[in-house]
Amino acid sequence: MSTLMNDWIDISPLDAIPQRGARLLRTIHGCVAVFRTAKDEVFALDNACPHKNGPLAEGIVHGNAVTCPLHNWVISLETGAVQGADEGQVATYPARVEDGRIWVEASRLRRRAVA
């Protein structure tokens, strides 16, 4: 799918998510987990583990990875790729912090007027 990076939306203040934590964003494709790392970087990924749809937002965040709460698969927040022996891929969406607020690129996430 081609994405024109033209739909950045202001989601919330950075502080709405604890460091090494995540919160959910409801979208037409189901929930997207927005993560905040210890270094205050943010990442947006589908909230479903490739293993058995574990809710990644509930996992433990370490470095730039999250460990799925159900069976401990480790997923890279950068690439959405499953780390280590296991294999799988989670969809990721562009996200960034600006002036203490979280922005997510939503062209793939919401219904658009023009379609």
Partner 1 sequence: MRQKLVVIGAGMASGRVLEHLLEQDPEAYDITLFNAEARGNYNRIMLSPVLSGDKTYAEIVTHDDEWYARNNITCRFGEHVVKIDRDAKQVVGQNGTVDYDKLLIATGSAPFIIPVQGKDLKGVITYRDLDDTNAMIEAAAKGGKAVVIGGGLLGLEAAAGLAERGMDVTVLHLMGHLMERQLDESAGFLLRRDLEQKGVTVMCGASTAAILGETCVEGVMLEDNTGLEADLVVMAVGIRPETRLANDAALSVERGIEVNAQMQTSDPDILAVGECVEFNGALFGLVAPLYDQAKVVAHTLLDQPAVFVSKELSTKLKVTGCDLFSAGDFAEGEGREDIVFRDPGRGVYRRLVLEDDCLVGAVMYGDTTDSNWFFGLIRDKTEVAEMRETLIFGPSFQGGSAVDPLSAVAALPRDAEICGCNGICKGQIEDAIAAGANDLGAVRAVTKASGSCGTCTGLVEQVLAVTLGDAFVMPTSQPVCGCTDMTHEDLRRMIKSQELKSMPAVWQACGWKTSCGCHVCRPALNYYLLADWPVEYHDDPQSRFVNERKHANIQKDGTFSVVPRMWGGITTPDELRAIADAADKFAVPTVKVTGGQRIDLLGVKGEDLPAIWDDLNKAGMVSGHAYSKGLRTVKTCVGTDHCRFGTQDSTGLGIKLEKALWGSWTPHKLKLGVSGCPRNCAEATCKDIGIVCVDSGFQISIGGAAGMDVRETELLCQVETEAEVMEVVMAMTQLFRENAKYLDRIYKWMAKVGLDWIKEQIDDLENRTALAERFELSQSIYRKDPWAEHVKKADSYQTLGDLTLEAAE
CB of 114 to partner 1, least distance (A): 9
Q: In this structure, what is the dihedral angle of CA atoms 115, 53, 94, 10, given to the nearest 10 degrees?
A: 80
**Which of ligand FES, partner 1, none lies near 51, with the C-beta cut-off 5 to 8 A by kind?**
ligand FES
For partner 1, the closer of residues 74 and 82 by Cβ is 74
Q: Which of 34, 24, 70 is nearest to 49 (CA)?
A: 70
Task: For residues 34 and 107, give the distance between their C-alpha atoms in angstroms, rounded to a whole number.
Answer: 16
Site for partner 1 in 50-109 (CB under 8 A): 52-55, 58-64, 67, 69-70, 72, 74, 76, 78-79, 102, 106, 109
CB of 49 to ligand FES, least distance (A): 3
| Cβ atoms of 57 and 77 closer than 8 Å | no
φ, ψ for residue 21 (rounded to 5)? -140, -175
Which residues here bind partner 1, judged by CB under 8 A? Answer: 9, 11-12, 16-21, 23-28, 31, 34, 37-41, 52-55, 58-64, 67, 69-70, 72, 74, 76, 78-79, 102, 106, 109-113, 115
